[in-house]
């Protein structure tokens, strides 16, 4: 398709990411990006261009993201974006899957002694504009007759700063974001609690522009490949070894061994998935690396586990 051609010709993938959400996409002071969403960009670049570093990151606010994608400013939007019907149907874009199953929650200062969202009657809530978060908050407030007052900010940082300074009694966003912010953005993380209620389903996933189904397929299957890799125990560390010695037909198909060539159908070469895994590791590795219990963000694997381990990650077979 034409987007694929354009990217190949350019030799670089333009990837829209969050301006700063630790664990998903954040740049360190050297300008190096990392996170779950960033790994989406990197894995696609590795599969498509052969080099995970051939990515130009375009940091976007929630408001800018769809326009940027529609207008061609970016090729791939990997910015913790919730997959909804409206967005899928009317914005001229295609979601290619889910790289994180999330739900919206609330964070409040501990000293307010609140332990349920239902106790937030009349509270002021800081929220980033142009998100499903904003809509869910409205719905939840109405459904439970809480009269929550939103204070809406253009930028995530601004919303967080306002919450941190005490302008709002609560801060709401996806639970993953809450955890990340609590860990990285609060001076004393223990002064804040994340309330138990999840008020929405937030399947976050990458999206591409409509009009090039080939590209959508590539992004979608790169994502699946990384999940499959976890299922079959392919890791960044052992991928080279497996590639030379594995006899498991599924593994061989994924890594493009022998005369297995799944890449051709996607318009890629046969080592596409190998390169992606080599670059970012399988899904589980990414999770552990960026948001897992050993990171400051400390998210449990929860629903984001393989279907075989009680989660909902269920990748269609690569064959």
Partner 1 sequence: MSAQFQPIAPRPSPVRQSGPVAWARRNLFADWRSTATTLFIALLLVWALPGLWRWIIAGAVFRPDADACQAARGVGACWGVVAEKYRIILFGRYPFDEQWRPLVATLLVIGGLVVSCMRAFWKRWLIALWIAILALFFTLMGGGVLGLSPVRTELWGGFPLTIMLSVISLFLAFPLAVVVALGRRAKLPAIRTICVLYVELVRGVPLISVLFMASFMFPLFVPQGVTVDVLVRVIAGLTLFIAAYMAETVRGGLQAVPKGQFEAADSLGLGYWQTQRLIVLPQALSMVVPSIMNTFISLFKDTSLVTIVSLYELTGALALALNSDVQWRPFKLEAYFFITLIYFSGCFAMSRYSLWVEKQLAASKAR
Partner 2 sequence: MIYQVIALALLALGLWYLAHNTQLNMRARGIQSGFDFLGANAGFDIGEKLIDYDPSQSYGKAIWVGVLNTVKVAIAGIVLTTVLGVMLGVGRFSRNALVRGLCYGYVEAFRNVPLLLQLLMWYLVFIELLPAANEAWAFGGLVFLSKGGLSFPWPTTGVGAVLGGLAVGAVAGVFWRRRVQKRFEATGQDGDRFWAPLAMLVAFALVGWVVAGMPRAWSVPEQLAFMVDGGMALTPEFMALLIGLTMYTASFVAEVVRGGIQSVSRGQDEAASALGLNPRQKMKLVVLPQAMRVIIPPLTNQYLNLTKNSSLAVVVGYPDVVSIANTTINQSGRAVECIAIIMLVYLSTSLTTSLVMNAYNRRMAIKER
174-213 positions binding partner 2, by CB under 8 A: 209-211
**Between residues 58 and 273, which has the closer beta carbon with respect to partner 1?**
58
52-81 positions binding partner 1, by CB under 8 A: 56, 58-61, 64, 67-68, 70-73
284 class by beta-carbon count within 10 Å (0-12 exposed, 13-18 middle, 19+ buried): buried
Distance linking the first and last C-alpha atoms of the chain? 22
Shortest spacing between CB 25 and partner 2, in angstroms: 18
Cα–Cα distance measured from residue 179 to residue 22, given in angstroms and rounded to the nearest whole number: 10
170 torsion bin: left (phi>0), alpha (psi -120 to 50), beta (else): beta
Q: Applying CB under 8 A, which part among 26-34, 97-105, 129-137, 169-177 lies near partner 1?
A: 26-34
Shortest spacing between CB 189 and partner 2, in angstroms: 19
Question: 112-126 in b/e burial notation, b at 16+ Cβ within 10 A?
Answer: eebeebeebeebebb
Shortest spacing between CB 2 and partner 2, in angstroms: 9
117-176 positions binding partner 1, by CB under 8 A: 154, 157, 160-161, 164
DSSP, collapsed to helix, strand or coil, labels residue 168 as: coil
150-169 positions binding partner 2, by CB under 8 A: 150-154, 158-159, 162, 165-167, 169
Q: Is the dihedral of CA 108, 158, 136, 124 positive or negative?
A: positive
CB 125 within 8 A of CB 148: yes
**Between residues 56 and 210, which has the closer beta carbon with respect to partner 2?**
210
Cα Rg of the chain, angstroms: 20
Cα–Cα distance measured from residue 155 to residue 62, given in angstroms and rounded to the nearest whole number: 7
Residue 48 in the binding site for partner 2 (CB under 8 A): no
- In sequence order, what are the beta bridge partners of 18? 60
Residue 318 in the binding site for partner 2 (CB under 8 A): no
The interface partner of residue 144, options being partner 1, partner 2, none and the CB cut-off 5 to 8 Å by kind, is: none
Residue 187 in the binding site for partner 1 (CB under 8 A): yes
235-294 positions binding partner 2, by CB under 8 A: none
Cα–Cα distance measured from residue 213 to residue 100, given in angstroms and rounded to the nearest whole number: 22
Q: Applying CB under 8 A, which part among 181-189, 217-225, 226-234, 256-264 lies near partner 1?
A: 181-189
Cα–Cα distance measured from residue 111 to residue 108, given in angstroms and rounded to the nearest whole number: 8
Residue 26 in the binding site for partner 1 (CB under 8 A): yes
CB 202 within 8 A of CB 104: yes
Binding residues for partner 2, rule: CB under 8 A, are 62-63, 65-67, 70-72, 86-87, 90-92, 112, 122-124, 129-131, 134-135, 137-139, 141-142, 148-154, 158-159, 162, 165-167, 169, 209-211
Binding residues for partner 1, rule: CB under 8 A, are 2, 6, 19-20, 22, 26-27, 29-31, 56, 58-61, 64, 67-68, 70-73, 154, 157, 160-161, 164, 184-187
């Amino acid at each position: 398709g034409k987007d694929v051609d354009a990217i190949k010709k350019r030799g670089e993938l333009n990837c829209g990411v969050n301006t700063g959400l630790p664990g998903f996409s954040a740049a360190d002071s050297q300008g190096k990006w990392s996170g779950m969403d960033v790994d989406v960009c990197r894995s696609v670049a590795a599969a498509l261009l052969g080099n995970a570093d051939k990515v130009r990151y375009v940091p976007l606010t929630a408001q800018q993201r769809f326009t940027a994608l529609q207008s061609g400013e970016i090729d791939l939007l990997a910015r913790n974006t919730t997959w909804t019907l409206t967005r899928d149907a009317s914005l001229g874009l295609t979601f290619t899957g889910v790289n994180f199953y999330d739900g919206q929650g609330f964070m409040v200062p501990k000293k307010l002694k609140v332990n349920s969202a239902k106790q937030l009657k009349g509270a002021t809530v800081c929220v980033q504009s142009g998100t499903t978060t904003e809509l869910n908050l409205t719905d939840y407030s109405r459904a439970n007759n809480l009269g929550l007052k939103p204070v809406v900010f253009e930028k995530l940082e601004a919303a967080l700063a306002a919450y941190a300074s005490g302008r709002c009694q609560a801060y709401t966003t996806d639970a993953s974001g809450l955890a990340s912010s609590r860990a990285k953005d609060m001076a004393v993380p223990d002064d804040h609690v994340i309330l138990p209620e999840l008020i929405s389903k937030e399947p976050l996933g990458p999206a591409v522009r409509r009009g090039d189904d080939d590209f959508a397929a590539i992004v979608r299957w790169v994502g699946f490949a990384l999940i499959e890799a976890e299922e079959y125990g392919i890791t960044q560390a052992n991928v080279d070894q497996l590639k030379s010695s594995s006899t498991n037909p599924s593994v061989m198909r994924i890594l493009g061994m022998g005369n297995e060539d799944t890449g051709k159908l996607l318009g890629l070469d046969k080592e596409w998935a190998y390169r992606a895994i080599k670059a970012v590791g399988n899904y589980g590795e990414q999770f552990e690396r960026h948001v897992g219990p050993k990171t400051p963000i400390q998210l449990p694997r929860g629903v984001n586990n393989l279907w075989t381990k009680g989660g909902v990650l269920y990748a269609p077979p690569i064959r």
